[in-house]
Structures are given as structure tokens and as C-alpha cells.
Amino acid sequence: MKEILGFIVLTSPLFLILLWVPVCVGLAVWIGRKIFKKGKTVTGVVVGLLVFLFVMAAPVADEIAGRIYFNHLCETEAGVKVYQTIELPAEYWDEEGRPKFMNSRGVLDTEVLGTRFEWKRRTSPIVSNFIRIDKEEWILFDNRNSRELGEMLTFFRYFGWTSKLSPAPNVAVDCQSMWKGELSQNIFMSQIFVAPVNTSGGKNGNNK
């Protein structure tokens, strides 16, 4: 029974499309015939085809426009920015140079670092009318020196109205689903927190 219900949930949007296609064909044929009667056969075919394509795409126009603009923002603006590096003493690193203060996913361990560093989140709308896209900034803040160390910038695209007709609608998608390893939180942290480098004069002079 669960398999049947799951199949219905996943395929329900297809039934709506199947119902909408005859409507689009009917309008295209009706308008095309109006033009045929005037002896403009080629024009009637072209206009009928354009009507079909326009009416077919109309219910998902917001989805198409949102996806195009969202992809543009993700490709041109989303990513990471590092403003300041922090050199942490040797006790924060293991013998192989791996950080003890964060896990493999780049999540900071407050038991090791305390409350000096924290993430601050800022969200602001980019578009909120025909389509909805929000900008989300995750800023790594140094509480001791009151400064921003870097930020991870992403965008959220909220799906169009047709997704709400689904029994299991998706709400939104963000740029992180498009990102590769070089934009992961772990790599971002490794660009901000650096281990001390032993030289003839001692450690390097990075900010502490």
C-alpha cells in the first residue's frame, strides 16, 4: 500500500500535465483554424504552434524564469570570501597537521575553541514578486577582535506555484547543491585557520 501511495505522490504532477496538454492543443487548433479560413495556411500553422508553446509554458513561467536567474546568481556571485587569516598554536593541530578544533565537515568544536568564533547569518530578498529568490550570507565572526573573518554566500530559490499542487511539494533549493568540493565548509575553514610555520626565526607573523 505504501508503494502505491508513493507512486501516486511522485506521479501526480504528470497527471496535471496530461490534462493540460489537450487544452493547449485545443486552443492552438482553434486559433489556427481561424487563420486558415482567411487563406493563410502557413501563417495558421506557425501561429497555432506558437500558441501551443506559449499556453503550455504559461503555468510554469515563474519556474523557468526563477531557475534561469537563480543559476546566473549561483554561477556569478555565490561562493566564499576570506577577509582575514588566523594562526592557531600547535596544540590545535594533531601530528599530521589536521585541525582538532573542527570535524571533517568543517563544523567548529566550541569545546576546543570556546566562544571566540561564531557564525552569523544574514538573509535578504533578491526577488519577491513573480519569483522569489533570497540571498543568504553565513559570516564567520571573531568576537575577540570584533571583525569578520570570511563569508559563505548562497542563494535560495523558492519553487513556483505549481509545486504547491503536489502532495509532497519541495520548498526551495540553494546553490550549495550545485557546489563542488572546493566550496565546501571544510575547505573554507582551512583557508581561514592556519597552522604555525617553524622558520629560523620561529613562527610566522600571521594574525592571532
Q: What is the pLDDT of residue 142?
A: 92
Q: What is the pLDDT averaged over residues 172-177? A: 77
Q: Are the C-beta atoms of residues 119 and 138 closer than 8 Å to each other?
A: yes
**pLDDT band at residue 204 under the 50/70/90 scheme:** very low
Residue, of 170 and 182, whose pLDDT is higher = 170
Of the chain, the percentage scoring pLDDT greater than 90 comes to 14
**The three-state (H, E, C) secondary structure of the chain, written as one string:** CHHHHHHHHHHHHHHHHHHHHHHHHHHHHHHHHHHHCCCCHHHHHHHHHHHHHHHHHHHHHHHHHHHHHHHHHHHHCCEEEECCCEECCHHHECCCCCECCECCCCCECHHHHCCCEEEEEEEEEEEECCCEEEEEEEEEEECCCCEEEEEEEEEEEECCHHHHHCCCCCCEEEHHHHCCHHHCHHHHHHHHEECCCCECCECCCCCC
* pLDDT over 50 at 4, yes or no: no
Higher pLDDT, 119 or 56: 119
Mean pLDDT of the chain: 75
Question: Higher confidence at residue 128 or residue 117?
Answer: 117
Tell me the Cα Rg of the chain: 27
Which pLDDT score is estimated for 165? Answer: 54
Q: Which of 78, 82, 149, 89 is nearest to 118 (CA)?
A: 149
